[in-house]
Structures are given as C-alpha cells and as structure tokens.
Structure 1
C-alpha cells in the first residue's frame, strides 16, 4: 500500500469537526506513560510515608491534572494552536501512540486516509509487533508498526476520525481511560495494604464504623502472629514479608468470602464478620488458628511453625469504633498472656481490672505531686543476735490514700510509670538522709528498691550519679535491691549497671531469690553482694522439710559464690533462731521489727 497526498495545514485539518489530527514530535513514545507513572509514584510515596496531607494533595493534583489534560489538550488540538512546550509535545506524542493502539482494539473504523477513505486497524502480530490496516471491505492494505502509523499521521496521510456515533472521540476516550486508570490505582493503594493486598487499617476502621451504624449483628476478630520477631531476626526481613503474605493468604482462604479482611500493620490482621455473633466468630477464629498452625511456613527448604493469638468481640451497644478496637486488643493480649496460640473471646469481667489499672496509671503523677505516697523503713538485723554490727534498713513504699499499694505498683509497672515512682523514692531518700547525718551512728546502710522499668531506663545511671553529686551521701551507705525476675530480663544491661554503681561504693541485693526456674544459673552472672531468700520458702520453714532444704541450698550456694544472705518474712523468734542455726547472715520481717515512718525514724536520730 502506498499512501500519497499533499499534507494539509494544521489549521485546515483541525477546522474539520469530524477529524482530529495530532501534531507529532520525535519524542519517546513512552513519555506520557512515564509522566503518569511519575505522578502515581509521587502520590504513593506520600502515602507510604504516612503523610496524609501530602497524599491527599497528590491525589487532588492527579485528579486536576487528568481533567485539565483532557480539556486543554483537546482544545489545543481542535483550535490548531502551536504547542511550544516540550512537555506538551511529549504528552501528545505518547498520547497519540496510546490512541492508535486503542484504534486497533475498537470495532469502529476510526482512521481515514487523505482521501477520506475509512480504514481500520485490526489484529496485532505478537511476533512482529505489526498491525494490519484494512479498508471498509476488510481487504488488507498493509502491515505497519505503531511508529510507522505515527509517521503517517504526522505527514497527514492518516487521520484519527471521531466515532460515527457522535460520542467522544478516540483521543478523548483514551485520555480519560488513562487518567481513570491512574486514579483507580492510586485509590486502590490508598485503601489497601501494599504487601498483602488486603484492606489497610484506615479502610477497616471505616468498615467498622459503617457496620456500627446498622442494626444487624456483627462480630470482629483481631489476629496477631506469635513471636514473629524471632522469625524475622533468624531468617531475615524477606522471609518475614513472605510469612505475612502466607498468613494473609490463609486468612482469605479460611474465612468466608463475605468477611472483610484487613492487615492493620506489623503482625496484626483483622476481620469483620457480618451477621455473626461472638460464638460463631469464635468458631471461625478457632478454625483459622488451627489452619495456620497446620500449614507451616516454608522458606528456603525449611519449615517454620506459625501460630496466632486471636481476640474476638461481638458488637455491643452504641457505635463507638474505638471501644471495639480496645476490646479486641484486650482479648488478643489476654490470649498471648495465657500462652499464645489460642482464641480468646472478650470478657467484660476480665477487662475490668485492666481498666482499673489504666485509670490508676493515669493518676501516678498526680499521686506523687499530692504526696499521697510516703516511705517507711524496716530493719534488717544480723541473724546472730549476739552480733554488735549496726543493723541495715530497707525503704518501703506505702500509700497515704485508699488505693491498695499492690494495685498502684501493678498499674505503674504495667503501664511503664514505675520509673517515675522510683525517681521520687530516690530523690526523697537522698534529700532526707542528707538532713540527718547522725543516722549513720545507728544504721550501717539503707536499701532502696529499683523496679524493672527503671532497670530498662537508660537514664537511670546518670540520674543516680547526679544524686550523689547533689547530696552528701556516702555511696557505701546505699544498697540497691533488684528482683530476680527483672534482673534476668536484661542480664547484660543490669550487670553493667551494677558494676558502675559498685565502682562508686554501692552494694546490690538480689531480692525474691529462688522463685525463678534458673535462679542458680543467673546468680553466677549477676555480680550482686547480697542474696535475699524469697519469703515463700521462709514462712513455713518450721513445718516444711522441703522449704528448709531450699533455704539451706540457697544459703550454701550464695556463700560459696561469696554472697551474703538475707531471709525475708521472719515472723517469730523460732524462725529467726532456725535461720541462725542454718547459717543465714541476716533476717528481716515482722518478727524482727515492724516498719516505721521514714521521717520519724530520721527525726529520732
């Protein structure tokens, strides 16, 4: 086929209502697609950075860009205006390529030659990348590439005609199709998790809020992968991502199709089950748990077991989505605390103590400021009653309001407020001891307890060193007590802290010793000076041969390692005497001395 004709001017061609001709440059055919991709990447980058405002602006820009592009480009083409902008030329060049491809997919004859003969592009050869150009009778005229078609249009030998039906032309439809596809991709990314393809947290929260507006029953579950950090650290983040996809796939396969399934972030997934009560949701959750446990995660030829802790809750009265999530997390956390790999249905009675602890934790600063806590001291005496050594004393925390001390400490420790309490105790003790220097004439040392929260506080060492600089207290007069369970949770960090403060002259006591499964093993690695035998072994020592054997064992091992021993809960002279016979170094309890006010004790000095 040979197409010949004089090339009409741009103005002449564009004056025809039925014909749209695109002025082409030699720009890259993918210029338009590249710009679209750039716009999309900008929007998705803002979304991945969790910059909600930037993402919204990017989406709005894409939308405005699409509308303006469709309008301005078509107006420019129809009016025959000169396009001086290189960007505009690249846009139109890439657009023309897309339009010609669309022509090959349309059933209408959307091309005309210079003589007005209607032509159509049909089948595309996969091997050669060529299009077949046929006339109205179906006769094949030529095989041409998309670049050759572009040249023919540029030379005026081919034109893209408007649809015979009078609808939008192929150019405008192509533009709108491209922009619409871009917008749909961005909208999908906005509502879905990029890794798993499930709905994201924002979309799930919207779904929960909508479900609460209705009247039908609905249940929810939150799914947390157990000990995922072990897998992530052992085989790497790529394996971790693959495991998340594995769990997401099992979620979709196991739960009914009508469920709304989402990944909330991290290792957390969630599902909403319409027209379902808590019992039914519990059965679905149990099936899911069993399915995931049965299908090991395979990575590089190795199988890794995966288990889930699942919380289930049924829609309650009201439309508070925040309460739904709070109850879901309460239920799933209890499942983890109960041993993991289980389903737990929300119980209001189980949640009440947690709500109470949270309320107490929120009051910690106010309780300290109002001085609703105070200190007492209790003597730690030599087990040998004939010793002339000065006694030691331990500072004890007491409440000066109606709040039980055990609840206050439990709340402060659970919600990481105990370090605030410890710092108050330290500051109060140092400041008051400095004001009563005569106290050291009847006291060898004072013991101060440090909580697990404080031991994990990187600023604790500097805080204590600052107290010794501010107050005239001899470090040899201070002994810090730490519990066995908190010490072994971060053995290396605690050991380093002990060494630093021992270098100043302080001593350390390991409290509640013997309650841990590996107590003797950890004792070798903790450079403490004193071991305090847990009171649970001491209280019944007169009547329990097992307890007596345990006390003897702890005492002998501690002495072999060069540590002194203290027996707690010494409630009568008989226990005191037996402990002295065993060889325990010190005793403490109501049978030794009842606690007394710290300020009153100092005043008596």
Structure 2
C-alpha cells in the first residue's frame, strides 16, 4: 500500500518533481508491455512459472523504461529551457533575436516593434529586414561586424543607427554572439539590440556645448585649436598652403559701455552671421573670446587669404548695429599667418596670428597685417609677450620694489619732494629697469595691476614711517592712462587712503598729457574726486602732445612737468628753450607750478632757475635709489636733529 501510495503521488505530481514522475511513469508502462509477453512465453515453453523466471522481464522493463525516461526527460528539459528563454526574452526591453546560419530567424522578441516599428511576424517573413533598416551611413560598419561574427565567430558590440518604420533615426547598441553546438560548430547568432537614442542625444548635446560658443553658436577656442592641430598633423608631408586669420573688433567696448553687455552680445551674434556669409564653405569660423574671431582657411594661399580678409574687413566696416535709439559702427583689425608645409606648431601659429592682429591694431586699426618671419615689429611684439608671464609671476611673488628720485625746489624750499619709480626683481634677484617691462605691461593691460601695487605699497610704507611725512612736501606716484579710465582704480585709491589713514595732501598723482587729452572728461572727474581728499595732480610730459593750451582750463592740475625732450637740449637749441619758457609762463598764468624733467647738467638747472621754473628733476639733481634707503636716511637725519 505504501508503494502504491507513492506511485499515486508521483503520477499525480504531488511531490512536484517531474524527474521522478517521468521515470516511474515509463517504468510502469514498460512493465505493462513486457510482463504479458513474458507470461505467454512461460505458458507455451515452460512447465512452471517460478519467481526467477520473471526476474528477466523485470530487469528488461527497468532498463528500457530508464532509457525511455531519460529521453523524455531530455525533451522536457529542452522544452522547459526554451520556454524559460522565451519568457525572459519576451519580457526584456531589449530587442532580442536568434538567427540560424542560413539567415532565418528562430526567435524574435516582441520588443522588436518598440525599436524598429515592425512586429515579429514581419521579421519572420522578411529575413533580410534588419539589413534594410540600417542607416545608410552605418551600413559599412554593420556589414563588417556581421561578417566578423558570422565567419570568425567573434563576439561584437557596437553603436549604430537604423531607420524605423516611421522614418525616424534610432541609435541602438548591437551586441551579437555566435551560438555553437556541442561539437563547437556555429549554428547561428544570438543578438540583443538596446535603444540608446536618449543617451546619444545627451552625448551630442554635451559634445556640442564643449566645442561651440554659447553666444554665437560658432566653434569655441578649444575646438578651434583642436581643428588646427588636426590639420597640422595631417599636413606633415603635404605642401598645401593654408592660412590662419585673427580678427579683433575695434572700439567694441564703446557698445558695452554705452548700452550694456546685452547690446554687445547681440552685436556679436549679428556680426557672426555677417562673417559666415563672407568665408568659404571649407573655412572654419570660431569665436575665440570677447570680441575676437578666428578663421582657419584650408587649401588657401596667402594671396587668396588676403582677398578674403579684405572682404571681411569691408563687410565689418559697412555693418551698422542698431540698439534702441543708438546706432554703432565698428571696424576690425586683422592678422594673417600663412601655414606652409611642416615646421608649424599650434602654439607658434596662435602666437604669430595674435601678434599680427595686434600690429594691425597698433598701426591705426581697421587694417590687415600679414605675418612675415623677418618682421622686425613682430619680433619686438614677441619680445614683449615674453614679459607678460614674467610680470604676472612677479606680481604673484611680490617681486616689485620702489625706487625714488628727488625733485628739487628751485625756490629754496626746505621740504623734500620725491617721485616714486617702480623696478622689478628678476628670478635671480637682479633689478630690471622699467623700460624693459612697462611697455609690455601697457600693451597687455597689466599696467593697472602694477599701478595698484605701487599705490598700496607707497601708502603702507608711509603709514609705517609717519615721521617722514613731516619732512616731505609731496610724493609723486605715476598713473597710467588705463588706470585713469578705470573706475575701479579711483575706488581703490580712496579705499587705501582710508585704510592707511594717510594725508592725501602728501600725494601727487602724475598723469601723462596724452592720456589726459584722450580721456578728458574721465580725467577731469578722476582729478576732482581725489582732490576732495587733498590729493594733488601733475600733468606729466607736457609738450609732447601739445596742440593747444585750451584743454588745460578743464583740468584742475597743480603742476606741469615740462617734457624732458625740450629741457635736455635747451642750452643749445633756441626752439627748445623757447618751448620751456612758454610752457612755464602759461603754467604760472593758470596758477600751476612747473617741474622741469631730464635736468642732467648744473648749467641747465641754473638756466631753469633764472627762467622761474619751480622745480627740477634729473640726474644732475639725484639719481634714483631704493625708497627704503631714502626712508632710513631721512629718519636717521630726523633723529640726529
């Protein structure tokens, strides 16, 4: 009864193990077939039916039943595995298929319609459908990879595009692996295809943003440099001529200052469209930053590049920008550099193009300057550019120092007067004269930082040594034209006067005549604001840009410094003598005191005194020396007295 109960449970799958169910089932069926045959044989051929006689059919039924059971079990397992695979594949988001070596689909997952727009039956009916859907630009990649997996048995995974049923382009990742039998013979291909369109769009957007200018949509500086480098690499063994063009807009700052940056941005967008219309389809236009543009002209001789640059110059000049009630017109300074054969480097080309562009601007703006390797002006420009890094590093490392030169009163005043001068200490501690680095600082807009350094350190030193102010009438500090027009510098000076609690009346700021004339209203406002704190002003190099004395009425300066070019030769040159005398007289009439520069001889000093000039400055009076030495000497003299 126990065994009958077990069979009943197995047959009815109560145990839940199909292996035992199948095995017992086939043993029982075999015994039902074999035992009747054995019984008939016993009836005809034997006199008795002993138990041993029935052992043989029992063993036979067990063996045959076992074989049949194993065969049935294998079939069940294969069917079960197939159903499992289909169930998993049907639920997966990836479009999966199995394909035999003869090209027919053995299985297509339902998600095929999500990726391609076509259902399973369409794929079964059209074995070549996948090949037909691949994007034309990617068909070569598709065939190459499919050939590899079909013929070499090599797994492949790659990204490509297909055209779905509705005509849209779909990016997908295709992963395919060979399917082999137990003899390791390939019998087909298994493939999964994942929709990666969203990911690709994000990647494309990020790639675009990293290579394009947000404002104009043009290539940015980084991408422009990459394209030049790519061209140089491919041009190593090629003698084809190319050209690099730099454009710097002239007076663009006026637009920003007048109407704000929104107006300036709109102008740049419009000008980008203007420039695009002029260049060739093969040229690459980029915005390099601010109001600078770059153009890479491939397969273009320098003569042709010059013609294109001339067209660009004309179009910029003829362009008018309207913003509200304001109308602006700008021009462009253009630098051109030929690129011929090997030997050119990215760094060298960019440096040469920038230098050529600067020369165009420095020559009067709205010009085109073509770079030549033997160009003396560009050689000087390169020399100045080398100073930029050195100036920046000196500012960071605080390697500037103050010198001072005495200004002697010719009216027997006991008070001392000094002009502060700047020097740089190089990397080895040697003193660098101002003529070596100040021109570069002026050209590359570093002079404002230098001026700020001088102001801060001068105020600090005088606060730390207050007794010297009792012995000094005034100390002169030079201000560049850039600082004169920078509102931030005016605020900086006022803040430092308050921070160090120094008497503004002890300081005289020197501004050049040229800078004052060029920015008359700004200069006037600058002077008026600082005079509220007692500061004095001197007009430096007066006479060098002399065209009229009329503007002096609008500049409330305290001193006129007569340009040394007239002073140094006044003993031999009657015209120079007359100029010095005229400037001195006009200055006095307007209530200003006069200071003569470049006094290199005692005779010149005596002549100036007789003429009525108030102060003299030059090597005949005092050679510049470190300011800290003057402070120390002055304080010692005060202590001794």
Which TM class, normalised by the smaller chain length?
0.5 to 0.7
Alpha carbons of 1:358 and 1:69: their partners in 2 closer, same or farther (altered >3 Å)?
A: farther
Cα shift readout 1:180-230 (whole Å, capped 9, x = no counterpart): 799799689666779988766554333222222232245331231542628
Mapping of residues 182-201 of structure 1, within 5 Å: 201=221
Provide the rounded CA distance (Å) in 2 between the counterparts of 1:472 and 1:307.
Answer: 47
Give the C-alpha shift of residue 337 in structure 1: 1.6
- Could you say what secondary structure the match of 1:590 adopts? coil
1:287 aligns with 2:304: no
Provide the rounded CA distance (Å) in 2 between the counterparts of 1:504 and 1:374.
Answer: 24
Give the C-alpha shift of residue 250 in structure 1: 1.8
Match of 2:237 among 205, 211, 215: 215
Give the C-alpha shift of residue 523 in structure 1: 2.8
1:345 alignment counterpart: 371
Cα shift readout 1:90-110 (whole Å, capped 9, x = no counterpart): xx9xx99xx9xxxxxxxxxxx
**Structure 2 stretches lacking a partner, 5+ long:** 1-91, 97-107, 134-161, 172-196
- TM-score, length basis structure 1: 0.61
- Could you say what secondary structure the match of 1:289 adopts? helix
Provide the rounded CA distance (Å) in 2 between the counterparts of 1:463 and 1:298.
Answer: 39
Mapping of residues 54-203 of structure 1, within 5 Å: 166-167=128-129, 173-175=164-166, 177-179=168-170, 201-203=221-223
2:318 alignment counterpart: 297
Provide the rounded CA distance (Å) in 1 between the counterparts of 2:472 and 2:561.
Answer: 19
1:137 alignment counterpart: none
1:229 alignment counterpart: 252
Provide the rounded CA distance (Å) in 2 between the counterparts of 1:354 and 1:493.
Answer: 29
Provide the rounded CA distance (Å) in 2 between the counterparts of 1:200 and 1:471.
Answer: 45
Match of 1:249 among 261, 277, 293: 277
Cα shift readout 1:132-171 (whole Å, capped 9, x = no counterpart): xxxxxxxxxxxxxxxxxxxxxxxxxxx9999978525999
2:566 alignment counterpart: 537
Alpha carbons of 1:427 and 1:519: their partners in 2 closer, same or farther (altered >3 Å)?
A: farther
Provide the rounded CA distance (Å) in 2 between the counterparts of 1:466 and 1:293.
Answer: 44
Alpha carbons of 1:70 and 1:230: their partners in 2 closer, same or farther (altered >3 Å)?
A: farther
1:376 aligns with 2:404: yes
Q: In 2, are the aligned partners of 1:417 and 1:453 still within 8 Å (CA)?
A: no
Aligned residues: 448
Provide the rounded CA distance (Å) in 2 between the counterparts of 1:69 and 1:305.
Answer: 58
RMSD of the alignment, in Å?
A: 4.5
- Could you say what secondary structure the match of 2:557 adopts? coil
- Could you say what secondary structure the match of 1:221 adopts? strand
Give the C-alpha shift of residue 428 in structure 1: 4.2
Alpha carbons of 1:331 and 1:184: their partners in 2 closer, same or farther (altered >3 Å)?
A: farther
Cα shift readout 1:377-403 (whole Å, capped 9, x = no counterpart): 312312x4xx44634222233456153
2:637 alignment counterpart: 604
Match of 2:419 among 394, 397, 401: 394
- Could you say what secondary structure the match of 2:619 adopts? coil
Match of 1:264 among 275, 283, 287: 287
Cα shift readout 1:349-375 (whole Å, capped 9, x = no counterpart): 345413431242133236634x6x342
Provide the rounded CA distance (Å) in 2 between the counterparts of 1:204 and 1:221.
Answer: 11
- Could you say what secondary structure the match of 1:510 adopts? strand
Alpha carbons of 1:584 and 1:203: their partners in 2 closer, same or farther (altered >3 Å)?
A: same
Provide the rounded CA distance (Å) in 2 between the counterparts of 1:303 and 1:464.
Answer: 34
- Could you say what secondary structure the match of 2:164 adopts? helix
Match of 1:497 among 523, 526, 548: 526
Give the C-alpha shift of residue 567 in structure 1: 1.5
Give the C-alpha shift of residue 345 in structure 1: 0.9
Give the C-alpha shift of residue 268 in structure 1: 0.8
Cα shift readout 1:391-430 (whole Å, capped 9, x = no counterpart): 4222233456153331133344444444444444444434
Alpha carbons of 1:389 and 1:440: their partners in 2 closer, same or farther (altered >3 Å)?
A: same
1:356 alignment counterpart: 386
Give the C-alpha shift of residue 505 in structure 1: 1.7
2:89 alignment counterpart: none
Provide the rounded CA distance (Å) in 2 between the counterparts of 1:204 and 1:588.
Answer: 53
2:511 alignment counterpart: 482
Give the C-alpha shift of residue 445 in structure 1: 2.2
1:23 alignment counterpart: none
Q: In 1, are the aligned partners of 2:407 and 2:615 still within 8 Å (CA)?
A: no
Q: In 1, are the aligned partners of 2:95 and 2:110 still within 8 Å (CA)?
A: no
Q: In 1, are the aligned partners of 2:352 and 2:371 still within 8 Å (CA)?
A: no
- Greater relative contact order, per chain length (Cα 8 Å cut-off, separation 6+): 1
Give the C-alpha shift of residue 491 in structure 1: 4.2
- TM-score, length basis structure 2: 0.58
Cα shift readout 1:246-272 (whole Å, capped 9, x = no counterpart): 3322222xxxx6x53222354413123
Match of 1:449 among 475, 478, 482: 478
Q: In 2, are the aligned partners of 1:487 and 1:494 still within 8 Å (CA)?
A: yes
2:77 alignment counterpart: none
Provide the rounded CA distance (Å) in 2 between the counterparts of 1:212 and 1:587.
Answer: 59
Provide the rounded CA distance (Å) in 1 between the counterparts of 2:416 and 2:454.
Answer: 21
Alpha carbons of 1:519 and 1:224: their partners in 2 closer, same or farther (altered >3 Å)?
A: farther
- Could you say what secondary structure the match of 1:524 adopts? helix
Provide the rounded CA distance (Å) in 2 between the counterparts of 1:572 and 1:491.
Answer: 35
2:395 alignment counterpart: 365
Provide the rounded CA distance (Å) in 1 between the counterparts of 2:516 and 2:439.
Answer: 18
Provide the rounded CA distance (Å) in 2 between the counterparts of 1:196 and 1:463.
Answer: 35
Q: In 2, are the aligned partners of 1:310 and 1:342 still within 8 Å (CA)?
A: yes
Alpha carbons of 1:176 and 1:335: their partners in 2 closer, same or farther (altered >3 Å)?
A: same
- Could you say what secondary structure the match of 1:347 adopts? coil
Provide the rounded CA distance (Å) in 2 between the counterparts of 1:393 and 1:476.
Answer: 14
Provide the rounded CA distance (Å) in 2 between the counterparts of 1:424 and 1:586.
Answer: 27
Give the C-alpha shift of residue 308 in structure 1: 4.6
Provide the rounded CA distance (Å) in 2 between the counterparts of 1:585 and 1:432.
Answer: 28
